[in-house]
Chains A and B, each alone.
Chain A
């Protein structure tokens, strides 16, 4: 079965600190995504990747960087965390079944609190 694992599950960070959220998928999917979920906004796309070595900006990339060192791993990096980045972050992999029609497989999320 498809599996996307995120770590940590919960994270408390201080303003100005560096935060790295990790995601690992065993689906062998080329596409991976980072979303944040906030009440009243649904999920919003931060960064995505087509494969190892590639990262692309999504709809709300400001304040975030991404890294895709391998097919399996996709990280989201907050170099200087701010309280506005307090949210729940979801990683997903996509099966690229006709690109626009692909099914996304989500991890269980990381709850980040920036104090």
Chain B
């Protein structure tokens, strides 16, 4: 069965610094990969998704993620974070052959951006 691991439960970065949030997945075939963000007291919103093509995929608000098949990873990056980026970030994987979106989520990484 597929699984997703986000090894960092909490990350704190200074405003203006670069960011990388790590995600490792376990799946035998090429999966669909997603990053969702949850702002305080809100539901999750899609940041970006990947299935094939260029391993670096661009998302909203300056976020990007890089797929690595050899490392089974899909890390999220941002060049310069803003205080409004403080949120919980979830990596998720979906089986490519399923007839619906059976997403498996990681445990989430809580990001705090400090002055």
For the complex formed, measure the closest distance between the CB of A108 and the CB atoms of chain B, giving whole angstroms: 5
Q: Is residue B105 within 8 Å, beta carbon to beta carbon, of the partner chain?
A: yes
B interface residues, tally (CB under 8 Å)? 26
Give me 15 other A-B pairs in contact (C-beta within 8 A), A31-B100, A100-B97, A105-B43 excluded: A4-B43, A40-B107, A42-B90, A42-B108, A43-B103, A43-B105, A48-B102, A50-B100, A100-B94, A100-B95, A100-B96, A103-B46, A104-B46, A108-B41, A109-B43
Q: Provide the main secondary structure of the chain B interface.
A: loop
List A contacts of B22 (CB < 8 A).
none
The answer to whether A101 touches B94, judged by C-beta atoms less than 8 angstroms apart, is: yes
User: Which residue numbers of A lie inside 8 Å of B, CB to CB?
Assistant: 4, 31, 33, 40-45, 48, 50, 58, 90, 92, 94, 96, 99-109
Q: Of all chain B residues, which has the CB nearest A58?
A: B102
The answer to whether A106 touches B45, judged by C-beta atoms less than 8 angstroms apart, is: yes
For the complex formed, measure the closest distance between the CB of A110 and the CB atoms of chain B, giving whole angstroms: 11
The answer to whether A101 touches B90, judged by C-beta atoms less than 8 angstroms apart, is: no
List A contacts of B43 (CB < 8 A).
4, 90, 92, 105-109
Query: What 6 A-B pairs come out closest when comparing CB atoms?
Result: A106-B43, A42-B105, A43-B105, A106-B44, A100-B94, A102-B101
Bound complex: CA A60 to CA B11 (Å): 29
Bound complex: CA A31 to CA B101 (Å): 9
